[in-house]
Chains A and B, each alone.
Chain A
């Protein structure tokens, strides 16, 4: 019963493919789909990420597109819900016929759900989310790539800082989201490798009271509290830790998901001694001139300000770079999806605003540890605190 439909579809497919070849692909747009959460709990990240992708798509189209073909950009709001994202992924793949998906809902949990669907459909998926599990093990994730730092590498970088300062007893206060859980798993590994004494506390992303966890951390004698969340609970942590007087002796460090001025302002005086692990983007102007990323950051900041009338943050850079990575793969691979996939794996030393990307068949996550720095918040902006 399906054969008639299949035959018609096959004929149509052959016809359009032939037609496309005849026209040398001059007029066909390349369809790229993006799923991000611009509403719901992850919304405040999502809007910046959407604008970053929008800027990249517009720039590429103004410069003539990819190999002469303009990008047709299709955007769906995941609303911070995995079920929505799954429905939207299906829509992008079957209804809208996209050649690539860029953006996994700006939540690690959503990206983890999209990956198998993209794998089954053999369509490249560029995740802009944090958890390393999104692209590991590579054998199960041929078609999935990640344009952000791995939490494993961020923690290694943190361990470098701990070694420098002689800190041994680390408390991880992570939320129970995919992002926080990813860090919990990776820290267990890193702590063993780097000989650190790690204790683990957790909280729900919507929690507004962390006194029980902080009391336990204090009683255990931790030297560092590493907080891993993107929600305002991270501000509650700072204020309550200050309330308990912990800021006098302990070092507080927040993850790269928390690097936004909005949170620093809400935290007020509690953010005075805070350090944050971060990509270089927010302190671009304070980097040494020898750093190749510096001019890229300046360029993106300039064009974003002109277009959207506000200063961009590193979330903007994440999606901006992801779209440009997609462009490279698409221009090298053409309309053959397998070739596009291989082209992705062959990207080496590509310099952009987030850092320097290098992919390989074994490594689908392109940023290295050297792209991470530690920053602090003073004088109404982020400042470089530790650079390697």
Chain B
């Protein structure tokens, strides 16, 4: 029978499950905290002095949807997906093609994108999730590779490497949401719904079940938890969220091109989840901040930016294996050890 102290965090090593549950309970109060934080975000288009800064805010929220979903999948559920950018792209192209090529109402793109990605995840997930650990990684990697080729080659639908042009912006009647400040509230709303949904998921029965599976599948089995079913639910759900993020991306940029949705983007998303902090709710927010902010901050370094980013990533992971959200714990540990 698995003891609580047998639980192993994929990054930080053996964990104290009691402490983790404590954190889980603390999240209960998290709902109101999230609500306040989310309201504060609405200030961005007011404080943002120009289109460019507001577009950063929009990107941040879209990236947050991606990274938060992936965080739940990897951090809470213990499943590695190397194809998250693929579901993102699928949603973006689905929504984009609907409005640019089929001339349908762009609002339709949002739910359709969700659905398309979710169904794709179902198709991949059913065979792949029956297998252990890195087989989902391979399946999602292969899936992402296939999608990348399709995005690039089905030129009459996707526009090929030149990208998809002619996407119609979302509109209320004749009021088109074609500027960054106008589309921000929609993105804000969708991202908020996603974050609340994830919080609820983690705290629900399903959430407890998936955390149990992540800590010890054998123990979870012995408790009668159908691991496969719960893993599939989370996989499909987070893929659908990625699809939603894709549709928001294409509606705020009015453009999509294959290079944003490839293998290297998927890897980078995984890295962001780790840098932010696995299995910690706030980690996704930090990860999204880094993902959105780092390229902008590093832009002035020209050729050296890549090196700074890579070296920085190594440094953060070496010193804070639990990610930046776990930095608090790491620092507390060091403080405990060295205080006078």
Contact = CB atoms under 8 A, between A and B. Distances in A.
Interface string B239-268: 000000000000001110101100000000
Contacts of A95: 50, 52-53
Contacts of A82: 163, 255, 257, 259-260
Give the interface centre of B53, B161, B162 by most chain A CB atoms within 10 Å. Answer: B162
A87 interface: yes
A241 to B, nearest CB: 24
B306 A39 contact: yes
Interface in A166-185: 176-178, 181
Interface stretch (A108-116, A154-162, A304-312, A317-325): A108-116
A181 B50 CA distance: 36
Main secondary structure of the interface of B (DSSP, over half): helix
B226 interface: no
Contact of B257 (A90, A94, A109, A131): A109
Given A82-B259, A83-B257, A116-B254, A90 B161 contact: no
Contact of A5 (B46, B260, B306): B46
B255 A109 contact: no
B150 interface: no
Contacts of A113: 163, 165, 255, 257
Interface residues of A, number: 32
B32 interface: no
B162 A109 contact: yes
A88 B295 CA distance: 11
Interface string B293-328: 001100100110010000000000000000000000
A91 interface: yes
A206 to B, nearest CB: 11
Given A95-B53, A109-B162, A181-B155, A1 B302 contact: no
A91 B155 CA distance: 30
B51 A93 contact: yes
A110 B139 CA distance: 31
B55 A90 contact: yes
Contact of B161 (A86, A93, A176): A176
Nearest to B51: A94
B153 interface: yes
B129 interface: no
Give the interface centre of A39, A84, A86 by most chain B CB atoms within 10 Å. Answer: A86
Main secondary structure of the interface of A (DSSP, over half): helix
Nearest to B153: A176
Contacts of A116: 165, 254-255
Interface in B15-65: 46, 50-53, 55, 59
B161 A94 contact: no
A178 B162 contact: yes
Nearest to A134: B162
Contacts of A204: 152
A27 interface: no
Nearest to B295: A84
Interface string B152-173: 1101000011110100000000
B52 A109 contact: no
A76 interface: yes
B53 A87 contact: no
B162 A181 contact: yes
A145 B178 CA distance: 24
Contact of A178 (B51, B161, B303): B161
A76 B181 CA distance: 24
A91 B162 CA distance: 22
Interface string A1-24: 110010000000000000000000
Contacts of B253: 86
Interface in B79-120: none
A38 interface: yes
B55 A87 contact: yes
A77 interface: yes
B86 to A, nearest CB: 16
Nearest to B257: A82
Given A113-B163, A181-B160, A93 B260 contact: no
Contact of A109 (B50, B53, B161): B161
A76 B299 contact: yes
B135 to A, nearest CB: 27
A91 B59 CA distance: 14
A81 interface: yes
B51 A176 contact: no
A90 B51 contact: yes
Nearest to A92: B52
Interface in A10-53: 38-39
A87 B62 CA distance: 14
Contacts of A91: 52
A146 B180 CA distance: 28
A178 B163 CA distance: 9
Interface string A125-136: 000000101000
Contacts of A108: 162
Contact of B260 (A38, A83, A120): A83
A131 B159 CA distance: 14
A112 B162 contact: yes
Give the interface centre of B52, B153, B259, B260 by most chain A CB atoms within 10 Å. Answer: B52
Contacts of B50: 94-95
A86 B257 CA distance: 11
Contacts of B160: 176, 178, 181
A354 to B, nearest CB: 24
A321 to B, nearest CB: 24
Contacts of B260: 81-83
Nearest to A177: B161
A204 B178 CA distance: 34
A176 B163 CA distance: 12
A112 B259 contact: no
Given A82-B259, A93-B52, A181-B161, 4 more contacts: A39-B303, A93-B51, A133-B162, A178-B161
6 contacts: A83-B257, A83-B259, A94-B52, A176-B152, A181-B161, A181-B162
Interface of B: 46, 50-53, 55, 59, 152-153, 155, 160-163, 165, 178, 180-181, 253-255, 257, 259-260, 295-296, 299, 302-303, 306
Interface of A: 1-2, 5, 38-39, 76-77, 81-84, 86-88, 90-91, 93-95, 108-109, 112-113, 116, 120, 131, 133, 176-178, 181, 204
Leading 4 A-B pairs by shortest Cβ distance = A94-B50, A94-B51, A94-B52, A178-B162
